[in-house]
Amino acid sequence: MTPFTSEFLGTALLILLGNGVVANVLLNKTKGQNSGWIVITFGWAIAVFVGVYASAAASGAHLNPAVTIADAVNTGNWSKVGTYISAQFLGAMVGSLLVWVAYKQHFDETTDADLKLAVFCNAPAIRNTAHNFITEIIATFAFMMGILTLTNNGEAVNLGALNALPLALLVFGIGLSLGGPTGYAINPARDLGPRIMHFILPIKNKRNSDWGYSWIPVLAPIIGAVLAVLVKKIF
For 149-167, write each residue's pLDDT tens digit: 886 544 555 555 567 899 9
- What pLDDT is attached to residue 59? 95
d(CA 139, CA 144): 9
Output the CA–CA distances (angstroms, integers) from residue 41 to 11, 27, 35, 57, 161, in the order listed: 17, 16, 11, 25, 22
pTM of the entire structure? 0.95
Q: What is the pLDDT of residue 235?
A: 85
From residue 72, alpha-carbon distances to 79, 143, 227, 230 in Å are: 8, 16, 13, 12
The pLDDT tens digits for 39-51 are 999 999 999 999 9
CA gyration radius, the chain: 17
Q: What is the pLDDT of residue 155?
A: 54
Q: How many residues does the chain have?
A: 235
State how far Cα 96 lies from the chain centre.
11
Domains of the chain from N-terminus onward:
3-234 (1.20.1080.10)
Contact 187, 65 (CB under 8 A): yes
Cα separations (Å) of 122 from 75, 77, 89, 136, 172?
Answer: 30, 31, 16, 11, 17
* Contact predicate 53/163, CB 8 Å: yes
Q: In the prediction, which pLDDT does 16 show?
A: 98
Cα 231 off chain centre by: 23
